[in-house]
Structure 1
């Protein structure tokens, strides 16, 4: 099974309670778990590889490992795999350089009428893209393969991205990056490493060419097919109760639970962690001091995505700061209201500089933006009150990263060093970049070969 190139925001995952005890009379009631007098042992499943996280990275690895005749068990907290696919909100290739002036520093949206960029501006953007390709991407050929940062770290990789862009004469490209790769952070302070990772050669080629999407227009079909192929190997609505990577020298042991079922023990020769490795996410892991020291460095942004239904409104509006550096929208802010093709329904994507964002804060941001638009007549007057949210997904933690000082101190060499130790491998955006194509490159270039070698698979 082949995965096509999509851009995906990975879902939140974290463990639940730590449970080193006998089990019996167990019943799962929502998020509550009850125990009674011990009477029996949980079910036991033996597999080659246990995979924590059924998002883009975990499912891709599971398919490849299954194709290599490995037995896998995918543990996913949500009721579906694949998380929420976040397509890049962009215009068709022929007009990808068109600017939509719709959001002012005063929080006043315009009517949203597309304003074509002057020919000289389009030429400047293309010239900047050529300079970026020739002088930057050719220099850092590993950018689409993972955070394979040189040691010692080049000073320019921890400079602010805007200064780096000025040094290499591609500043005219920054507004395009701000719109296409939503939301990577403030381009005036973002370390250059993350700016480069956000627009590697693969994505740059798509921006100035075309994107590869599902032929059905439904990226969910990709994961529906994966779920069919993996079958009972995928455990949905599953909470991790305990992980033991100490006592079993030949593998790992996980204790998991699903609503309405007795706890299950999964014994695996190897563990693949495919969730954002923030301490809040993996607090129930038996972390070593080295792992804890590494993962404690991570912070994250916030991203709230979904579908908003706005009665009486059927146009697309893109949020572009008219008076902000590089036309970045003011944050917190939505990328825009991008029509889905269904009446009154729009893709939304709210960016936050903090990873600690609630669902209600995400919805309130949409309402606030609609109120601003209503004040200038761009949307119906009651839009902020009539909007509903048929589907939403909170992507906290989103775009995990470290400080420029940590990059300078060789953080990524330290992050990649423990791969395979304690029978554990790590994958996902934190190790590759926040783009499914990059995660899949990381899997195929590093993770899957490492696991296959350790397990003696061809």
Structure 2
């Protein structure tokens, strides 16, 4: 009994000290002037949405601070540069839609765009065995016919183009799985191409049509027809390097959020660990852009509503990388013999693409995996293909670059969608001095996220300042 009392007392005092530490470390008086930044808006996350929001706020003469945990801005826009040749290869965001917001953004930073060329020969392989298969994808004409029918169905939901604008009760087609929708409207000839295009969406045929319509939107369809835009220098990071120069000292890279205090009627207070020590940012508003999963938001003073909503998200896993010494001399795409529409089962790699003699790999999973597990699975697949082709295996493939884009494609259940999840989610915008941006609030597509920022986030954010 005495021991238990001491233990309870110890826990009580420990909690008191933790709370006191947190209070002390968000109190402006505990930071000297050099370690305190006063801004109109603090932006957490310097990925696609965070960087664009910061740039545009500065255009409106607002002061900003961008907190980025990585050493560079850009999020999924990662680039590998061959140290021997200087040749750049995108291993994250590659393509963009034909939108004015896209061309204007790249033009202001003098980053040239061109139409992406698909000129590689591809061999179809069963990655589970490593053996080539006799497979012929649907013809371009058949794909175009199916895509036109899909577009006709998409046109029934114009409000989805800009946001999660749903009517209730939710239309039944939006709750069908992609596989059910394909069967209903006879769209099988588009499935193999969409499997490659909707990178990271797994298992593709099981995903609700709400999320398929969000990603495979009218801008994507136009890009299928006109060709996607990509950077001339194969280097999407070029845009973010120049954005970093524009934002200057307002960017804090290699920095993590320790605590967020949005509780008062006054400004938001964010304590950040930077390479130069702890900083306090005092801002009128906060924009939060990381995927809103509870594991991502440690130190945030989440409300009960935020916790309830964010806890319902599930995410896919999406990973990319570059290998050498594979012995591959042709690009390969995975097919799944005896699977519906020949779509391979995931988790697993689904494309090996040859670029400058190196092997780029794309890997998808229905759920988030550890990087070690993904790498091991990829190398095991490489070995199977090598053995099936008689490629000498004396040289071990080497990782030159690897990028985890997980958590990817945040979704909730059909029951949550029907119960008004997205109406409740968007009701958080503006509460407690907080605005949310990023893929979870629209889709995994920089082009439409930038348009969403222009049409939705900036107007309500600027009106609140």
State the TM-score bracket (shorter-chain normalisation).
0.7 to 0.9
Corresponding position of 2:343? 328
User: In structure 2, what is the equivalent of residue 284 of structure 1?
Assistant: 299
The yes-or-no answer on 1:122 pairing with 2:140 is: yes
Q: How does 1:71-86 map to 2 (within 5 A)?
A: 71-85=63-77, 86=92
Summarize the Cα distance change of 1:146–1:309 in structure 2 as closer, same or farther, 3 Å threshold: farther
Provide, for residues 222-246 of structure 1, a one-character-per-residue CA deviation record: whole Å limited to 9, x for no partner: 1111001001111001011110000
Q: CA deviation at 1:392?
A: 1.2
Structure 1 residues 94 and 284 mapped into 2: Cα distance closer, same or farther (>3 Å)?
Answer: closer
Q: Secondary structure at the match of 1:193?
A: helix
Contact 2:41 2:284 in 1 (8 A): yes
Answer yes or no: is 1:109 the counterpart of 2:130.
yes
Question: What is residue 290 of structure 2 aligned with on the other side?
Answer: 275
| Change in CA separation of 1:93 and 1:199 when aligned onto 2, cut-off 3 Å | farther
Find the partner of 2:54 among 48, 58, 62. Answer: 62
- Secondary structure of the residue aligned to 1:335 is strand
Report the alpha carbon displacement of residue 100 of structure 1 after superposing the two structures with TM: 4.5
After the TM superposition, which residues 289-438 of structure 1 pair with which residues of structure 2 at under 5 Å, given as runs? 289-341=304-356, 343=357, 345-355=358-368, 357-377=369-389, 380-382=391-393, 386-438=396-448
Cα displacement string for residues 73-119 of structure 1 (whole angstroms, at most 9, x for unaligned residues): 000001111023224699966779x9842126xx1233489x6546x
Instruction: Return the offset for 1:39.
Output: 9.6
Unaligned runs of 5+ in 1: 1-16, 24-37
SS at match of 2:174: helix
Alignment deviations for residues 260-306 of structure 1 (CA, whole Å, 9 cap, x no partner): x2311000101000110001111321111111111110011112222
The reply to whether residue 449 of structure 1 matches residue 459 of structure 2 is yes
CA offsets per residue over residues 160-186 of structure 1, 9 Å max, x none?
121122223323212211111112122
Matched, 1:252 2:268: yes
Q: 1:78 to 1:94 in 2, by over 3 A?
A: closer
**Structure with greater helix percent:** 2
Q: Contact 1:306 / 1:393 at 8 angstroms: preserved in 2? A: yes
* Residue of structure 1 equivalent to 2:225: 208
CA contact 1:144–1:197 (8 Å) conserved in 2: yes
Counterpart of 2:200? 183
Q: CA RMSD in A?
A: 2.6
1:266 corresponds to: 281
Equivalent of residue 198 in structure 1, options 182, 207, 215: 215
Aligned-partner Cα distance in 2 for 1:330–1:164: 19
In structure 2, the residue matched to 1:132 is 150
Q: Distance in 2 between matches of 1:176 and 1:155?
A: 25
Aligned: 1:225 with 2:239: no
Give the alignment's TM-score, normalised by structure 2.
Answer: 0.82
* SS at structure 1 position matched to 2:226: coil
Partner of 2:260: 243
Specify the structure having the higher radius of gyration (Cα).
Answer: 2
Would the aligned equivalents of 2:438 and 2:449 in 1 still touch at CA under 8 Å? yes
